[in-house]
Amino acid sequence: MAKKSAKEIFPPRPRALAARQQAAREITERLAELYPNSQCALVHRNAFELLCATVLSAQTTDARVNSVTPELFETYPDAVAMAGAPLEDLERILHPLGFFRAKAKSLRELSISLVEKYDGEVPAQLESLVTLRGVGRKTANVVLGNAFDIPGITVDTHVGRLARRWGWTREKDPVAAEMDIAKVLPGENWTLICHRIIDHGRQVCHSRKPACYECGLAQLCPSFDLLNGMNS
Protein backbone atom coordinates (compact mmCIF):
# COMPACT_ATOMS: atom_id res chain seq x y z
CA MET A 1 0.00 0.00 0.00
CA ALA A 2 1.32 3.45 -0.90
CA LYS A 3 2.36 5.61 1.99
CA LYS A 4 0.06 8.57 2.57
CA SER A 5 1.53 12.04 2.32
CA ALA A 6 1.64 14.29 5.38
CA LYS A 7 -1.01 16.63 4.02
CA GLU A 8 -3.54 13.76 3.87
CA ILE A 9 -3.22 12.98 7.58
CA PHE A 10 -4.80 15.09 10.30
CA PRO A 11 -3.27 15.32 13.77
CA PRO A 12 -5.09 14.13 16.86
CA ARG A 13 -7.06 16.82 18.64
CA PRO A 14 -9.12 17.11 21.84
CA ARG A 15 -12.79 16.27 21.44
CA ALA A 16 -13.86 19.00 23.84
CA LEU A 17 -14.16 22.47 22.31
CA ALA A 18 -12.78 24.09 25.47
CA ALA A 19 -9.61 22.00 25.18
CA ARG A 20 -9.21 22.94 21.51
CA GLN A 21 -9.67 26.58 22.41
CA GLN A 22 -6.97 26.33 25.08
CA ALA A 23 -4.56 24.68 22.63
CA ALA A 24 -5.29 27.42 20.08
CA ARG A 25 -4.75 30.09 22.73
CA GLU A 26 -1.27 28.74 23.49
CA ILE A 27 -0.36 28.77 19.81
CA THR A 28 -1.68 32.29 19.21
CA GLU A 29 0.15 33.62 22.26
CA ARG A 30 3.38 32.16 20.91
CA LEU A 31 2.65 33.59 17.46
CA ALA A 32 2.29 37.02 19.07
CA GLU A 33 5.80 36.67 20.50
CA LEU A 34 7.26 35.47 17.20
CA TYR A 35 5.50 38.00 14.95
CA PRO A 36 4.71 41.12 16.99
CA ASN A 37 4.67 43.39 13.93
CA SER A 38 2.53 41.35 11.55
CA GLN A 39 0.30 43.38 9.28
CA CYS A 40 -1.34 43.33 5.87
CA ALA A 41 1.39 42.93 3.25
CA LEU A 42 -0.60 44.67 0.51
CA VAL A 43 0.28 48.36 0.37
CA HIS A 44 -2.86 50.51 0.40
CA ARG A 45 -4.15 53.88 1.56
CA ASN A 46 -7.88 53.22 1.65
CA ALA A 47 -10.56 50.55 1.27
CA PHE A 48 -10.76 50.87 -2.52
CA GLU A 49 -7.04 50.35 -2.97
CA LEU A 50 -7.06 47.37 -0.60
CA LEU A 51 -10.05 45.82 -2.35
CA CYS A 52 -8.37 46.11 -5.75
CA ALA A 53 -5.01 44.87 -4.46
CA THR A 54 -6.59 41.85 -2.81
CA VAL A 55 -8.42 40.90 -6.00
CA LEU A 56 -5.13 41.23 -7.87
CA SER A 57 -3.29 39.04 -5.35
CA ALA A 58 -5.00 35.85 -6.50
CA GLN A 59 -2.42 33.40 -7.86
CA THR A 60 0.47 35.82 -7.50
CA THR A 61 2.60 37.29 -4.71
CA ASP A 62 1.82 40.37 -2.63
CA ALA A 63 5.20 41.79 -3.61
CA ARG A 64 4.34 41.60 -7.28
CA VAL A 65 0.96 43.24 -6.66
CA ASN A 66 2.71 46.03 -4.76
CA SER A 67 4.97 46.57 -7.77
CA VAL A 68 2.06 47.49 -10.07
CA THR A 69 -0.40 49.24 -7.76
CA PRO A 70 1.47 52.59 -7.47
CA GLU A 71 0.96 53.29 -11.18
CA LEU A 72 -2.52 51.77 -11.10
CA PHE A 73 -3.79 53.99 -8.30
CA GLU A 74 -2.00 57.09 -9.50
CA THR A 75 -3.78 56.72 -12.83
CA TYR A 76 -7.12 55.48 -11.48
CA PRO A 77 -7.41 56.59 -7.84
CA ASP A 78 -11.06 55.67 -7.24
CA ALA A 79 -13.94 53.56 -8.48
CA VAL A 80 -15.31 56.27 -10.76
CA ALA A 81 -11.97 56.67 -12.55
CA MET A 82 -11.35 52.94 -12.84
CA ALA A 83 -14.87 52.24 -14.08
CA GLY A 84 -14.09 54.40 -17.11
CA ALA A 85 -10.59 53.03 -17.71
CA PRO A 86 -9.78 51.64 -21.17
CA LEU A 87 -9.36 47.90 -20.76
CA GLU A 88 -6.13 47.88 -22.76
CA ASP A 89 -4.60 50.44 -20.39
CA LEU A 90 -5.47 48.35 -17.35
CA GLU A 91 -4.01 45.31 -19.09
CA ARG A 92 -0.78 47.18 -19.76
CA ILE A 93 -0.39 48.19 -16.11
CA LEU A 94 -1.28 44.73 -14.84
CA HIS A 95 0.79 42.84 -17.39
CA PRO A 96 3.47 41.72 -14.84
CA LEU A 97 0.77 39.78 -12.98
CA GLY A 98 -0.57 36.38 -13.92
CA PHE A 99 -3.98 36.36 -15.65
CA PHE A 100 -3.66 40.10 -16.23
CA ARG A 101 -6.43 40.24 -18.83
CA ALA A 102 -8.97 38.61 -16.54
CA LYS A 103 -7.83 40.77 -13.63
CA ALA A 104 -8.12 43.95 -15.69
CA LYS A 105 -11.68 43.01 -16.59
CA SER A 106 -12.48 42.15 -12.97
CA LEU A 107 -11.19 45.49 -11.67
CA ARG A 108 -13.17 47.47 -14.19
CA GLU A 109 -16.38 45.51 -13.64
CA LEU A 110 -15.87 45.66 -9.86
CA SER A 111 -15.50 49.44 -10.12
CA ILE A 112 -18.60 49.74 -12.29
CA SER A 113 -20.55 47.77 -9.65
CA LEU A 114 -19.25 50.05 -6.91
CA VAL A 115 -20.40 53.12 -8.83
CA GLU A 116 -23.80 51.70 -9.73
CA LYS A 117 -24.63 50.06 -6.40
CA TYR A 118 -22.71 52.00 -3.76
CA ASP A 119 -22.00 55.46 -5.21
CA GLY A 120 -18.36 54.50 -5.73
CA GLU A 121 -17.74 53.68 -2.07
CA VAL A 122 -16.58 50.31 -0.79
CA PRO A 123 -19.29 48.85 1.46
CA ALA A 124 -18.39 47.72 4.96
CA GLN A 125 -20.63 44.65 4.94
CA LEU A 126 -19.55 41.18 3.93
CA GLU A 127 -22.87 40.39 2.22
CA SER A 128 -22.45 43.49 0.03
CA LEU A 129 -18.78 42.95 -0.76
CA VAL A 130 -19.28 39.39 -2.03
CA THR A 131 -21.73 40.63 -4.68
CA LEU A 132 -18.85 42.41 -6.46
CA ARG A 133 -16.99 40.73 -9.32
CA GLY A 134 -13.94 38.80 -8.15
CA VAL A 135 -14.77 39.24 -4.45
CA GLY A 136 -15.31 36.15 -2.30
CA ARG A 137 -15.37 35.73 1.47
CA LYS A 138 -11.58 35.70 1.72
CA THR A 139 -11.22 39.04 -0.07
CA ALA A 140 -14.17 40.51 1.82
CA ASN A 141 -12.66 39.54 5.17
CA VAL A 142 -9.32 41.08 4.20
CA VAL A 143 -11.04 44.37 3.40
CA LEU A 144 -13.29 44.33 6.46
CA GLY A 145 -10.45 43.54 8.84
CA ASN A 146 -7.82 45.89 7.46
CA ALA A 147 -9.82 48.80 6.07
CA PHE A 148 -12.77 48.89 8.46
CA ASP A 149 -11.41 47.22 11.63
CA ILE A 150 -14.17 44.61 11.45
CA PRO A 151 -12.50 41.32 12.48
CA GLY A 152 -12.56 38.56 9.90
CA ILE A 153 -10.89 35.20 9.27
CA THR A 154 -8.99 35.11 5.99
CA VAL A 155 -8.63 31.47 4.96
CA ASP A 156 -5.91 31.69 2.35
CA THR A 157 -3.61 28.79 1.53
CA HIS A 158 -1.41 29.44 4.59
CA VAL A 159 -4.21 29.85 7.14
CA GLY A 160 -6.01 26.78 5.84
CA ARG A 161 -2.88 24.62 5.88
CA LEU A 162 -1.71 25.64 9.33
CA ALA A 163 -5.20 25.45 10.85
CA ARG A 164 -5.38 21.82 9.70
CA ARG A 165 -1.90 21.06 11.01
CA TRP A 166 -2.83 22.53 14.38
CA GLY A 167 -6.10 20.63 14.59
CA TRP A 168 -8.33 23.70 14.42
CA THR A 169 -10.16 22.26 11.44
CA ARG A 170 -10.14 19.25 9.15
CA GLU A 171 -11.88 21.05 6.33
CA LYS A 172 -10.24 21.97 3.03
CA ASP A 173 -13.19 24.04 1.90
CA PRO A 174 -12.32 27.63 2.92
CA VAL A 175 -15.81 28.54 4.15
CA ALA A 176 -16.16 25.39 6.23
CA ALA A 177 -12.64 25.92 7.60
CA GLU A 178 -13.50 29.52 8.47
CA MET A 179 -16.48 28.36 10.53
CA ASP A 180 -14.30 25.87 12.45
CA ILE A 181 -11.52 28.37 13.09
CA ALA A 182 -14.03 30.91 14.38
CA LYS A 183 -14.97 28.49 17.16
CA VAL A 184 -11.47 28.32 18.63
CA LEU A 185 -10.20 31.91 18.23
CA PRO A 186 -11.34 35.08 20.03
CA GLY A 187 -13.33 37.15 17.55
CA GLU A 188 -11.71 40.47 18.36
CA ASN A 189 -8.30 39.18 17.25
CA TRP A 190 -9.21 37.29 14.08
CA THR A 191 -7.58 39.72 11.66
CA LEU A 192 -4.28 40.04 13.50
CA ILE A 193 -4.02 36.32 14.20
CA CYS A 194 -4.49 35.59 10.50
CA HIS A 195 -1.64 37.97 9.63
CA ARG A 196 0.61 36.12 12.07
CA ILE A 197 -0.41 32.72 10.72
CA ILE A 198 0.33 33.89 7.18
CA ASP A 199 3.76 35.14 8.23
CA HIS A 200 4.51 31.81 9.92
CA GLY A 201 3.32 29.87 6.89
CA ARG A 202 5.51 31.91 4.57
CA GLN A 203 8.61 31.84 6.72
CA VAL A 204 8.57 28.49 8.52
CA CYS A 205 5.59 26.14 8.10
CA HIS A 206 5.90 25.61 4.36
CA SER A 207 3.61 23.37 2.38
CA ARG A 208 6.09 20.73 1.23
CA LYS A 209 9.03 21.03 3.60
CA PRO A 210 8.05 22.71 6.87
CA ALA A 211 11.07 23.79 8.92
CA CYS A 212 9.85 21.96 12.01
CA TYR A 213 13.22 21.85 13.79
CA GLU A 214 13.55 25.62 13.43
CA CYS A 215 9.96 26.33 14.48
CA GLY A 216 9.17 28.27 17.61
CA LEU A 217 5.86 26.38 17.83
CA ALA A 218 7.34 22.88 17.66
CA GLN A 219 6.48 21.99 21.25
CA LEU A 220 2.87 23.10 20.77
CA CYS A 221 2.26 21.65 17.31
CA PRO A 222 0.20 18.42 17.23
CA SER A 223 1.54 17.69 13.74
CA PHE A 224 5.23 17.80 14.65
CA ASP A 225 5.64 14.02 14.92
CA LEU A 226 3.43 13.37 11.91
CA LEU A 227 5.30 15.74 9.65
CA ASN A 228 8.72 14.58 10.69
CA GLY A 229 7.74 10.92 10.57
CA MET A 230 6.72 11.43 6.97
CA ASN A 231 9.92 13.27 6.14
CA SER A 232 12.23 10.74 7.80
**pLDDT for 210-231, tens place per residue?**
999 999 999 999 999 988 875 5
Task: Name the fold adopted by 47-148.
Answer: Endonuclease III; domain 1 (1.10.340)
Is position 156 annotated as part of the catalytic site? yes
* 87 and 108 Cβ atoms separated by less than 8 Å: yes
Q: What CATH code is assigned to 17-38+153-226?
A: 1.10.1670.10
159-190 pLDDT per residue, tens: 999 999 999 999 999 999 999 999 999 999 99
Where are the domains positioned within the chain?
17-38+153-226, 47-148
- Give binding residues for [4Fe-4S] cluster as ranges: 205, 212, 215, 221
Q: Is 68's pLDDT higher than 50?
A: yes
Quote the CA–CA distance of 32 and 118 in Å, as a whole number: 37
The answer to whether residues 44 and 53 touch, using CB atoms and an 8 Å cutoff, is yes
| Contact present, 180 and 163 (Cβ < 8 Å) | yes
Q: According to the model, what pLDDT value does residue 115 have?
A: 97
- From 103, 156, 180, 199, the catalytic residue: 156
Question: What's the pTM value of the predicted model, to 2 decimals?
Answer: 0.90
Helix intervals (H) in the chain: 17-34, 47-56, 62-75, 79-83, 87-94, 100-118, 126-129, 137-147, 157-165, 174-184, 190-203, 224-231
Detail the residues annotated as belonging to a binding site. 205, 212, 215, 221
Of the candidates 7, 78, 138, 180, the residue annotated as catalytic is: 138
